[in-house]
Amino acid sequence: MTKNILLLAGDGIGPEVVAEAVRVLKWVGAHAGTSFHFDEALIGGSAYDAVGTPFPAETLSKAKAADAILLGAVGGPKWESLDYSVRPERGLLGIRKELDLFANLRPAMCFAPLADASSLKPEIISGLDIMIVRELTGDIYFGQPRGVTMENSHRVGRNTMVYADWEVQRIARIALDLARVRGKKLCSVDKANVLEATEMWREEVQKIRDAEYTDIELSHMYVDNAAMQLVRAPKQFDVMVTGNIFGDILSDCAAMLTGSLGMLPSASLGSETGGKRAALYEPVHGSAPDITGRGIANPVATILSAAMMLRYSFNLHAQAKLVEDAINAVLADGLRTGDIMQAGARHVGTKEMGDAILAKLDTLSSTQRGAA
């Protein structure tokens, strides 16, 4: 069976890291007997430069047709002074909205060989494995009214936090389903002491839990406390669910606990219709303009995003696990890109890291065959 994967390499280091993930996907395709067909399209600043918009119509139609999308990164200083409506970030927000990719899964796990790379003490983060579920198509990111207007000779800036009950319910179900196959614990994060929209969020999440998921232990936490708890004792969490803006902030915080933003993948999923679910996979890190084109970016987050694609879009669970194991083994061998460099480790570039992961896939799969 052929699976169509759309590559949106984007800006900065995007193309460099996507190239390594494609090599890994090709390896998996060849070994799993699944044929992956790759297509490419423009997004972000590079799309703006080429065709005058960060989110071309052709990209949207290719995205709708694809079985899964792999995105590199968008943005960079070159485009920061552009009008808001054509900034690279609009490409990313546009594709999330158009494909209704409302469920953003951001795992934060600590790779054992990197426990020392965190700014927190190793005992606080070793074995860490959190899943942050961020609602991605609502909230202050998209709410109306918005914008800057003149009112009584003063500039007034306005954005609006909006959620409808059905939006909360559908993200709550995604998070509760994940909790069910993990540690059966969900923490919903809000600011219900101040914001009515999030008080409603809290009530709706609780309703869904009480009606359909009584096997899951649900707790609620204010976002300020959640930020504090994440750095104080992150292992108390299993699955966390929250809205778009709180999730944006908390997921960067959780990511950094693990030592490097360059290590973390994400999946953005839509609802299932006719047996198909729109899905976009991307590293949590950005376009890293400071190191673009030098061949030194860490491709691991993008390769892990490809592993999430194998798991969530193609049901290739064993293959996803194999890719994750290969990455762990390469780290255990002491290979490090600059962002996770440690004393005594071997410093490698983007492509060398990709080579090492492919070589490890060969070794691990032949050992597995040998054992079978």
Helix (H, G, I), strand (E, B) or coil at 236: helix
191 is catalytic: yes
Question: Whole-angstrom Cα distance, residue 344 to residue 342?
Answer: 6
List the interface residues with Mg ion, window 126-165 (CB under 5 A).
none
Of the ranges 17-25, 87-95, 110-118, 301-309, which one interacts with ligand IPM (CB under 6 A)? 87-95
CB 74 within 8 A of CB 91: yes
Phi-psi region of 293 (alpha: psi -120 to 50; beta: other; left: phi over 0): left
Phi-psi region of 67 (alpha: psi -120 to 50; beta: other; left: phi over 0): alpha
Smaller CB separation from ligand IPM, 40 or 89: 89
Of the ranges 85-93, 152-160, 342-350, 364-372, which one interacts with ligand IPM (CB under 6 A)? 85-93
Q: Which residue is nearest to ligand IPM (CB)?
A: 89
Please state the length of the chain: 372
DSSP state of 112: G
11 is catalytic: no
Looking at the DSSP bridge assignments, the partners of residue 109 are 129
DSSP 60-111: HHHHHH-SEEEEEE---GGGTTS-GGGSHHHHHHHHHHHTT--EEEEEEE--
Inter-CA distances, 135 with 173, 174, 222, 311, Å = 12, 10, 16, 20
Active-site entry in 141, 213, 281, 312: 141
Q: Which amino acid is at 61?
A: S
Q: Is 248 in the site for Mg ion (CB under 5 A)?
A: yes
Smaller CB separation from ligand IPM, 89 or 352: 89
Minimal distance in Å, beta carbon 223 to ligand IPM? Answer: 16
224 is catalytic: yes
Active-site entry in 139, 191, 312, 360: 191
Q: Is 355 in the site for ligand IPM (CB under 6 A)?
A: no
Smaller CB separation from Mg ion, 20 or 282: 282
Could you tell which of Mg ion, ligand IPM, none binds residue 100, using a CB distance below 5 to 8 A set by kind? none
Active-site entry in 100, 252, 325, 355: 252
Which residue in the set 39, 40, 49, 89 belongs to the binding site for ligand IPM (CB under 6 A)?
89
List the interface residues with ligand IPM, window 254-313 (CB under 6 A).
none
Chain residues in the site for ligand IPM (CB under 6 A): 89, 92-93, 248
Task: Give the residue numbers marked as catalytic.
Answer: 141, 191, 224, 248, 252
Chain residues in the site for Mg ion (CB under 5 A): 248
